[in-house]
């Protein structure tokens, strides 16, 4: 059933013993939203906790600051930033059919909960949690402010992506007016890389290949390289943004080979539709960012991918 913010607020006012679920491989929006809601509900006297199949990665440790999970028999389950049941990861079996409320901003949301509040115009779920927290008359404490701001900057790429709206900026402005120090968050999320990550990046970039007269750029990594630099998935976040930044490139491709298959990440500039290209290989995503998986080696994946991409490049003017 579709729900509104008022429905969500009513449900949360009525219920107690609430588990908040974040999506697998969590990011700043799912965790920021989850913990902002957690603190808002605790202010209202509710017993609650936050759960994620993949735990809380160190990068986002500041969002879980002071969090001590409580054991209790849950009566209510809320999913934040989760478009489909598969994104529950290892928690899917436990929670399938048991989610009471979804708060999400993916238009593709499968509405798997009993009540589904989905706002496709929100740049981040954290924006929806801001409204919800105020509706619940929760005070926006410094910790809630940190969580909401982190969610918004995560999903807007620090207000650079095209999903950024006046509302995103208005909420950020209000948080700053209330005294939020944004610099530690921005620095941690956008302005710092480990020496290992830097060395890895330069190695990957030194192997860049260009196609289609410089309009397509491909970088790749394999397991050996990842192990050499001891990088985890979070360290690798963001490298797929690099090829598209090159002037003249319309399609930036990142290929990560692991376990006999290649995970492909595509970033495009107008007019190329990233999701249309990935759909050919059984993948999908958004207009400017999409992904797919292609079996085989990097060379094999690159060959079929580049052949497809060249069909999508605009004709010479
Ligand atoms: Mn999100």
Per residue in 70-105, pLDDT (tens digit) is 899 999 999 999 999 999 999 999 999 999 999 999
Cα(2) to centroid(ligand 1), Å:
19
Of 70, 98, 69, 66, nearest to 85 by C-alpha is 98
Supply the pTM of this predicted model.
0.87
Cα(248) to centroid(ligand 1), Å:
29
Is 21 found in the same domain as 139?
yes
In a domain, 317, yes or no: no
Is 244 found in the same domain as 149?
no
Please tell me whether residue 109 adopts helix, strand or coil conformation: coil
Cα(47) to centroid(ligand 1), Å:
25
**Whole-number pLDDT of residue 281:** 96
Cα(296) to centroid(ligand 1), Å:
31
Please say if the pLDDT value at position 114 is more than 60: yes
Cα(285) to centroid(ligand 1), Å:
13
Distance CA 152, CA 259 (A): 34
Cα(299) to centroid(ligand 1), Å:
33
**Whole-number pLDDT of residue 59:** 87
Domain stop point among 129, 163, 190: 190
Is 246 found in the same domain as 135?
no
- Could you give the number of structural domains in the chain? 2
Cα(197) to centroid(ligand 1), Å:
25
- CATH code assigned at 245: 3.10.310.30
Domain stop point among 174, 190, 206: 190
Is 214 found in the same domain as 186?
no
Is 86 found in the same domain as 17?
yes
Is 203 found in the same domain as 176?
no
- The helix (H) or strand (E) run that includes residue 270 is none
In a domain, 120, yes or no: yes
- The helix (H) or strand (E) run that includes residue 79 is strand 76-80
Cα(130) to centroid(ligand 1), Å:
14
Domain stop point among 128, 159, 190: 190
Cα(126) to centroid(ligand 1), Å:
8
Is 186 found in the same domain as 199?
no
- CATH code assigned at 68: 3.90.1640.10
Cα(224) to centroid(ligand 1), Å:
31
Cα(144) to centroid(ligand 1), Å:
17
Cα(270) to centroid(ligand 1), Å:
23
Residue range(s) defining the domain that contains residue 272: 195-312
Cα(208) to centroid(ligand 1), Å:
30
List, in sequence order, every residue forming a beta bridge with 252; answer none if it has no partner.
217, 267
Is 304 found in the same domain as 232?
yes
**Whole-number pLDDT of residue 223:** 85
**Whole-number pLDDT of residue 162:** 83
Cα(246) to centroid(ligand 1), Å:
26
Is 174 found in the same domain as 202?
no
Please say if the pLDDT value at position 235 is more than 80: no
In a domain, 37, yes or no: yes
Under 8 Å between Cβ of 41 and 75: no
Cα(18) to centroid(ligand 1), Å:
21
Q: What is the pLDDT of residues 8-53, one digit of tens each?
A: 999 999 999 999 999 999 999 999 999 999 999 999 999 999 999 9
Please say if the pLDDT value at position 107 is more than 90: no
- What's the average model confidence in pLDDT over 117-135? 97
CA separation (Å) from 21 to 1, 37, 38, 68, 145?
19, 11, 11, 16, 20
Is 204 found in the same domain as 181?
no
Cα 110-138-182 angle, rounded to 5 deg: 85
Please say if the pLDDT value at position 317 is more than 60: no
Is 120 found in the same domain as 61?
yes
Is 205 found in the same domain as 92?
no
Cα(106) to centroid(ligand 1), Å:
8
- What's the average model confidence in pLDDT over 216-225? 93
Cα(78) to centroid(ligand 1), Å:
15
Report which DSSP code applies to 83.
-
Cα(124) to centroid(ligand 1), Å:
5
């Amino acid at each position: 059933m579709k729900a509104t913010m008022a429905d969500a607020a009513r449900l949360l006012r009525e219920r107690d013993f609430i588990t908040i679920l974040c999506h697998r491989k969590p990011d700043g929006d799912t965790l920021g939203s989850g913990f902002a809601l957690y603190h808002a509900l605790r202010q209202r006297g509710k017993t609650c906790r936050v759960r994620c199949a993949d735990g809380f990665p160190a990068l986002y440790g500041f969002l879980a600051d002071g969090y001590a999970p409580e054991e209790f028999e849950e009566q209510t389950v809320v999913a934040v930033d989760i478009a489909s049941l598969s994104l529950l990861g290892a928690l899917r079996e436990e929670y399938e059919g048991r989610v009471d409320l979804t708060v999400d901003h993916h238009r593709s949301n499968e509405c798997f909960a009993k009540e589904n509040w989905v706002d496709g115009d929100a740049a981040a779920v954290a924006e929806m949690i801001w409204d919800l927290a105020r509706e619940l008359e929760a005070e926006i404490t410094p910790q809630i402010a940190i969580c909401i701001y982190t969610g918004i900057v995560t999903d807007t790429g620090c207000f650079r992506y095209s999903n950024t709206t006046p509302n995103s900026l208005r909420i950020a402005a209000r948080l700053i007016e209330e005294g939020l120090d944004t610099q530690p968050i921005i620095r941690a999320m956008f302005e710092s890389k480990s020496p290992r990550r830097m060395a890895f990046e330069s190695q990957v970039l030194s192997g860049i290949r260009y196609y289609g007269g410089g309009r397509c750029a491909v970088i790749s990594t394999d397991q050996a390289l990842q192990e050499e630099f001891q990088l985890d998935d979070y360290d690798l976040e963001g490298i797929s943004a690099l090829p598209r930044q090159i002037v003249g490139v319309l399609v930036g491709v990142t290929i990560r080979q692991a376990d006999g298959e290649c995970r492909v990440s595509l970033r495009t500039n107008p007019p190329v539709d990233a999701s249309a290209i990935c759909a050919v290989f059984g993948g999908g995503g958004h207009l400017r960012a999409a992904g797919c998986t292609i079996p085989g080696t990097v060379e094999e994946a690159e060959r079929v991918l580049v052949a497809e991409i060249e069909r999508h490049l605009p004709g010479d003017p």
